[in-house]
Amino acid sequence: MIGYDCTETEPPAPVADVKTSNPMTHVAERGRAKIDSGADISVIPQAWTSRLRLLPSGLFEVASFDGRTIETPTYYVNISMNGFRFELVKVISSRRTNALLGRDILNRLKVTLDGKSLKAEISDP
Amino acid sequence: MKDIKEATFNSLARKADWMLTGDVAKAVGVSRVTIVQYLRELMGERLVERKRLGKASMWRVNQADRPGSRTMLEGEDNEIMQQIYAEREAYLKLRSVLLADAKYAGRFVAILKGKAVDVDSDERELVGRVYEKYGYVAFYVEKVQGEKRVLEVPSPERVSR
């Protein structure tokens, strides 16, 4: 499901229900992901990396909004949402409770945001 | 080696503000090349953060992740991260050779136990093959290119308290 979250984010933000799984063990974690077209890469909560027992497979330097950079490990995961499935997606993790869907995934889809009506659609035309 | 890393962290903690790379090196009494290696390790463990000022880098003790960050990478996790750093070091040593080889240049390479074990222009194909051949292990994937890419995850978020 995709729509605007009006309870946990202010102003409301487009979110999707996602399932993230370990590509080998298939242990899965379900949760919410914010649509973030500003993000170059998708992000999952650190707690998910532990529960999915993900192993790192690289290091990326990542810049935040104020230009500060950190080096952080990358992981490969499978991500499903709204009937779409993406295998071996490279993600990073951070201390947050929801995930972020970045342009690495969004650019494979058609995402329509109607902020005025607080409606969002996602499709693969 | 552990002493230098600790001295690096302690210098930044004492200063409690941004420090230029050269100043950290002076404070610890090692070369810039050496200090960068330890600063990057500390940054990977989220104990230290970096800010760029043109071509210069400034460093300070990580403010955002400070509580609990020392314990974040303990035990098994820390061992795995040390392995990733070692694989990265191996890649950096191999990079000039790989860049000069048409088989590797511009493609993704997988480094495992210090060796380039597979290469592909499709990152997912490469990763899938490595998992199939070696099982679910930690390894290092990098695109063989001269410049290092910095990713952006820039959206500021309001935090409710």
Determine whether the interchain pair A68/B51 forms a contact, defined as Cβ–Cβ distance below 8 Å.
yes
Average pLDDT of chain B to the nearest whole number: 85
ipTM score: 0.91
Give yes or no for residue B64 having a pLDDT over 70: no
Determine whether the interchain pair B152/A39 forms a contact, defined as Cβ–Cβ distance below 8 Å.
yes
Give yes or no for residue B73 having a pLDDT over 70: no
**What distance in Å separates the CA atoms of residue A6 and residue A22, rounded to the nearest whole number?**
30
Instruction: Check if the beta carbon of residue B34 is closer than 8 Å to that of residue B25.
Output: yes
pTM of the model: 0.76
Segment A11-27, tens digit of pLDDT: 999 999 999 999 999 99
CA B105 to chain centre: 21
**Residues of chain B found within 8 Å of residue A59, distances taken between Cβ atoms:** 44, 84-85, 88, 140
**What distance in Å separates the CA atoms of residue B139 and residue B87, rounded to the nearest whole number?**
7
**What distance in Å separates the CA atoms of residue B153 and residue A69, rounded to the nearest whole number?**
10
Give the pLDDT mean for B99-128: 97
Mutation choice for B interface testing from A5, A55, A77, A79 by most B CBs within 10 A: A55
Token pair of A53, please? 């027992």
Token pair of B127, please? 């990763």
By C-alpha distance, which of A43, A32, A47, A105 is closest to B152? A43
For B131, which of A23, A56, A74 is closest by C-beta distance? A23
For A73, which of B65, B84, B128 is closest by C-beta distance? B84
Give yes or no for residue B68 having a pLDDT over 70: no
Token pair of B13, please? 């903690």
**Residues of chain A found within 8 Å of residue B154, distances taken between Cβ atoms:** 38-39, 63-65
Determine whether the interchain pair B139/A67 forms a contact, defined as Cβ–Cβ distance below 8 Å.
no
Judged by CB atoms within 8 Å, which residues 46-105 of A form the interface with B?
A: 55-65, 67-74, 76, 87-88, 90, 92, 95, 100, 102
Q: What is the pLDDT along chain A (125 residues), one digit of tens a residue?
A: 789 999 888 899 999 999 999 999 999 999 999 999 999 999 999 999 999 999 999 999 999 998 888 889 999 999 999 999 999 999 999 989 999 999 999 999 999 999 999 999 999 88
**Residues of chain A found within 8 Å of residue B50, distances taken between Cβ atoms:** 68-70
